[in-house]
Amino acid sequence: MKFGILVNEGPYTHQASDTAYHFTAAALRAGHEIVRVFFYHDGVNNGTRLSVPPQDDRNISERWSELAKAHDVELILCVAAAQRRGLLDEDEARRAGKDSDNMAPGFQISGLGQLIDAGIQAERLIVFGD
Helix, strand, coil distribution of the chain in percent, nearest 5? 40, 20, 35
Question: At 41, phi and psi to the nearest 5?
Answer: 50, -135
110 is catalytic: no
| Catalytic residue chosen out of the listed positions 25, 78, 88, 109 | 78
DSSP class of residue 86 equals T
Tell me the HSE value of 58 on the side-chain side, using a 13 A CA sphere: 14
| Residues forming the active site | 78
